[in-house]
Structure 1
Amino acid sequence: MTLKAGWYGDDFTGATDTLAVAARAGWRTLLFLDVPTPAQLALAGELDALGVAGSARTMSPQQMREALPRIGEFFRRMRVPVLLYKCCSTFDSSAQTGSLGTAISVLGGYVDDDTVYVVGGQPDIGRFCCFSNLFAAVGAGGEICRLDRHATMKAHPVTPMNEADLRRHLKRQGVKSVLPVHYPCYELPERELDDRVDALLSDLRSKEQGALLFDVARADDLAVIGRQLARQSERGSLLTVGPSAVVQALAVHWNRTQPALRDSLPPVATIKTSFDGRLDVGQGRVARHADIGAVFVFVGSMSPVTAVQVRHAGSYEHVPIDGVELIESPSYANLQHGVITALLDAGRHVLAYVTASPVASRSVPPGDLARATAGFIKRVVDQQAAGAAPLRRLGVAGGDTSSLAARTLDIWALSFAGVLAPGVTLCRAHSDDSRLHGLELMLKGGQMGSPDIFERLLA
């Protein structure tokens, strides 16, 4: 297997966005829920790119130092030329939680290049990096705000973003030196830009733990960045940090420079899955079913963006869930479980949503809500799988909830089924349990998607 790239997602929803980017570029690709076994790799067949979905975004530095070496070793064994540490597109992290500096320190030991390459934006989801400062849209198509003035991100409950300059942000997390490549440089002739980048790299390589930070102000910038990453990867494997724009950049560059591949691509490449788990590339968008059956959505996100989406979900029966009661009262969980499964058995679409954060209202450890909701989701899915009408489509909103929920299910990988909105991917489950194999999942971060995203899930 000769891979073009590999990625580790520091949270689950972001990892699925990278899966979508790679698949739509025409690459044969799969996202594993853990380092795959030899048997799982054999089932996957020949791939162009693969990812591993992780949860480092919620880890302490010590936890990251314990978890990431096996990831680095796996990708080194797979000989990936470009390894992406896929962080959130808003780079929300801190020295104490989800430290990008720790990720760079650990994974940098598994690639040839001593410099890490940071890509700062992703225009298709409203993320822009200009003169090293990160800007983000408020919701889909909303106002563009500098990150430290973004209402949601500056008030993030775990990693509030009070610094928009990514150079300063990375240095706070232990990256010793960060040199920028600002977007006006992308207008330079190729040779002149190459010389400028090489000079910056020469400077960085004389220092400990250096990073080269690329602006992304426009979609057209991606081809230039992709060329630079590809050029450096010819000299040895390298580590990149950023959103899915890293894979976008590589794909744009390689597809432009390989006409045979470019001309053979369908408008949208969709991974189809046969029952034995092998992959082939076909055409189409989101799988259309004459009857997808009852759809279950669970919303664990407290984001204002997701709150708007819940209000627009008129085709669902809404079931409010009290977060504190879900954690503390088994009888309450049993009652709500019974309500939801009865509605699903009657063929009704159900949207359950947490009404208040127990973290904010009570002294509850932050991970308790995500663990409680993940267990609740698994219970509903398992109940339906044991009955006459297993779920065929499931949606989960909230980064931590999505990550834990997917891991509680008996699934070992996800392939691409379609895109519901920029940054929101519909995936197809690979499982050794025939009742779960082929289950379609939407795993959505709180900030992602249009107001009608839950209605789109029913299409």
Structure 2
Amino acid sequence: MPSALKIAYYGDDFTGATDTLATAARAGLRTLLFLGLPGAAQLERAGPLDCLGIAGAARAMTPAEMQAELEPVGRLFAQLGAPVMHYKTCSTFDSAPHIGSIGTAIRVLQPHTRNAFVPIVGGQPNLRRYCVFGNLFASAGPAMHRIDRHPTMRRHPVTPMHEADLRLHFAQQGLQLASLDYPDYQQSESALDQQLSALISQQPDAVLLDIAQAEDLAIVGRLIWQSACRQPLLAAGPSSVVQALAAHWQRQAPQTLLAHATIAPAQGPVLVLAGSLSPMTARQIKAASSYEQLLLDAPRLAQDMAYRAQMAKKIARQLQQGRNMLACTSSEGQIAPADAPADARALALACGELLAQVLKLAPIKRLGVAGGDTSSHAVQALDAWGLSYQAQLAPGVALCRLHSDDLALDGLEIMLKGGQMGGEMLFEELLSGIC
């Protein structure tokens, strides 16, 4: 990989990884997202890149599984020589000591860099996520909530957020954090640099950087990039890590950014697979009047191979007849919180198997998948090796092109979205396009 590579990132789920793909591409960076650890031949096919991503599923893994997943990623990224190694997290930082631990990810990846500065970027304003004095806030519709009072995230079925202070949240995962608060950014650059150096000298595991407004991004980007140019570093956080770097580079050398691309109407029927049970996905399903809807029994889908095959054939028949299909887990199939980690993964894996079966029976040109874990396992079930950015459907929701050696899959347009992302008409816009 040429020395032009600036950022190598691992997305802890596929939807988040595609958001970072879109962020980097729209900032003018040559970017490709691999769907697994790339080999030499795939790196050669990708050509020169400024930003290289790997889409993973670490947020649904135990610490031991994360160790096995991330150790080879760290070795590859170190070999590629990117100044910034980015562990891409969800913008809500939902994680726990036993599942999707960001603390575990940092402990595995940081030894593959030599920099004592491990920045954690704490907000993403374009998604209405803000970190002030170390506390995380996120929107739900028009309202803003502290993350531990957020109507969805405080009751997430796998990793509910019960602590808004990210320093305390990460302490539960074995990390001791120092922090820079957003008023500190009003200092001169030299004074801010001295403050950061003093924090790093105390040898924290990482430094949490407030993001209270979009203007903070370039300031944070400068802190990260100037340190990375001295020694490669590991940064953690949502796509705002790339946003911060891009904002700094734009200040240093303004360039034309990628304009919002239009999205043409779908050619042929569209399939949406919704494994998410979030309130926003529920509203999107309700508004999707152009689709035939099929309610899936979630526990049965997760446990019964014959039922999965039956549903796959039923969906494929409708697509073959030219009907748009929206297959979703029914509200009656919601997962009991006590069983959530195991059952949620089983359901996500089953959704991936279902999708692979459908596409073999009824190849299509445009696909949508809702749900972070569902998206991760769904794409992993396909015979594909990469994604490139095409256009943005909504903040945090990209339409991508699938790269595969299977000609029936190569070029498939695919939308991957987290449960909370997109407006109510998102599934309709996936079908009709956006001018």
> Do these two structures clear the TM 0.5 threshold for a shared fold by scoring above it?
yes
Which is further off, 411-420 or 320-329? 320-329
Contact 1:374/1:408 (8 A) holds in 2? yes
Contact 1:358/1:369 (8 A) holds in 2? no
Partner of 1:151: 151
- The Cα of 1:324 is off from its aligned counterpart by 2.4
Q: Distance in 1 between matches of 2:290 and 2:272?
A: 12
* CA shift digits 1:373-411 (9 cap, x unpaired): 111111111111xxxxx3100001011111001011011
Are 1:225 and 2:220 an aligned pair?
A: yes
Partner of 1:202: 201
Partner of 2:66: 64
1:334-353 mapped onto 2 (5 Å cutoff) = 334-353=309-328
Task: From 240, 263, 274, give the equivalent of 1:299.
Answer: 274
- The Cα of 1:331 is off from its aligned counterpart by 4.5
Q: Distance in 2 between matches of 1:296 and 1:254?
A: 39
Q: Distance in 1 between matches of 2:113 and 2:333?
A: 41
Partner of 1:107: 109
Q: Distance in 1 between matches of 2:37 and 2:160?
A: 30
Q: Name the Cα RMSD after superposition.
A: 1.6
Task: From 202, 207, 230, give the equivalent of 1:235.
Answer: 230
Which amino acid is the alignment partner of residue 184 of structure 2?
C
User: Helix, strand or coil: the match of 1:239?
Assistant: strand
Task: From 34, 54, 57, give the equivalent of 2:56.
Answer: 54
1:415-434 mapped onto 2 (5 Å cutoff) = 415-434=388-407
Q: Distance in 2 between matches of 1:349 and 1:445?
A: 21
Partner of 1:38: 40
User: Helix, strand or coil: the match of 2:392?
Assistant: strand
Contact 2:277/2:334 (8 A) holds in 1? no
User: Helix, strand or coil: the match of 1:234?
Assistant: helix
Uncovered stretches (5+) of structure 1, i.e. residues with no partner: 269-284, 385-389
Q: Aligned pair in 2 of structure 1 residues 362, 58: CA closer, same or farther (>3 Å)?
A: closer
Contact 1:286/1:420 (8 A) holds in 2? no
* CA shift digits 1:75-116 (9 cap, x unpaired): 000001011100111111111111111111110000010231
- The Cα of 1:413 is off from its aligned counterpart by 0.4
Q: Aligned pair in 2 of structure 1 residues 193, 114: CA closer, same or farther (>3 Å)?
A: closer
User: Helix, strand or coil: the match of 1:71?
Assistant: helix
Partner of 1:130: 132
Partner of 1:271: none
Partner of 1:359: 335
TM-score between the two structures when normalised by the length of structure 2: 0.95
Contact 2:25/2:258 (8 A) holds in 1? no
Are 1:368 and 2:370 an aligned pair?
A: no
Contact 1:9/1:52 (8 A) holds in 2? yes
User: Helix, strand or coil: the match of 2:76?
Assistant: helix
Which amino acid is the alignment partner of residue 251 of structure 1?
A
Q: Distance in 2 between matches of 1:54 and 1:350?
A: 27
Q: Distance in 2 between matches of 1:312 and 1:43?
A: 41
Which amino acid is the alignment partner of residue 129 of structure 1?
C
Partner of 2:189: 190
TM-score between the two structures when normalised by the length of structure 1: 0.90
Partner of 1:322: 297
* CA shift digits 1:298-341 (9 cap, x unpaired): 11001111101100111111111111232344454344333322
Partner of 2:166: 166
User: Helix, strand or coil: the match of 1:163?
Assistant: coil
Are 1:379 and 2:357 an aligned pair?
A: yes
Q: Distance in 2 between matches of 1:216 and 1:334?
A: 47
* CA shift digits 1:189-219 (9 cap, x unpaired): 2222222222212223xxxx52111000101
Q: Distance in 2 between matches of 1:34 and 1:186?
A: 38
* CA shift digits 1:240-273 (9 cap, x unpaired): 11000000000111122124xx1x44434xxxxx
Partner of 2:288: 313
Which amino acid is the alignment partner of residue 392 of structure 1?
K
Partner of 1:273: none
* CA shift digits 1:135-174 (9 cap, x unpaired): 01114xx211000101111111111110000111111100
Task: From 251, 254, 257, give the equivalent of 2:249.
Answer: 254
Which amino acid is the alignment partner of residue 150 of structure 2?
H
Contact 1:119/1:243 (8 A) holds in 2? yes
- The Cα of 1:286 is off from its aligned counterpart by 4.4
User: Helix, strand or coil: the match of 1:457?
Assistant: helix
* CA shift digits 1:29-55 (9 cap, x unpaired): 000011111111111111100111111
Which amino acid is the alignment partner of residue 29 of structure 1?
T
Q: Aligned pair in 2 of structure 1 residues 266, 21: CA closer, same or farther (>3 Å)?
A: closer
Which amino acid is the alignment partner of residue 269 of structure 2?
A
State, as a whole percentage, how many aligned pairs show the same letter.
Answer: 49
Which amino acid is the alignment partner of residue 267 of structure 1?
A
Q: Distance in 2 between matches of 1:165 and 1:189?
A: 27
Which is further off, 414-423 or 57-66? 57-66
Q: Distance in 1 between matches of 2:201 and 2:240?
A: 25
- The Cα of 1:287 is off from its aligned counterpart by 4.2
Q: Distance in 1 between matches of 2:262 and 2:297?
A: 33
Instruction: Tell me how many residue pairs correspond in the alignment.
Output: 427
Q: Distance in 2 between matches of 1:457 and 1:211?
A: 39
Uncovered stretches (5+) of structure 2, i.e. residues with no partner: none
Task: From 358, 376, 383, give the equivalent of 1:410.
Answer: 383
Partner of 2:424: 451
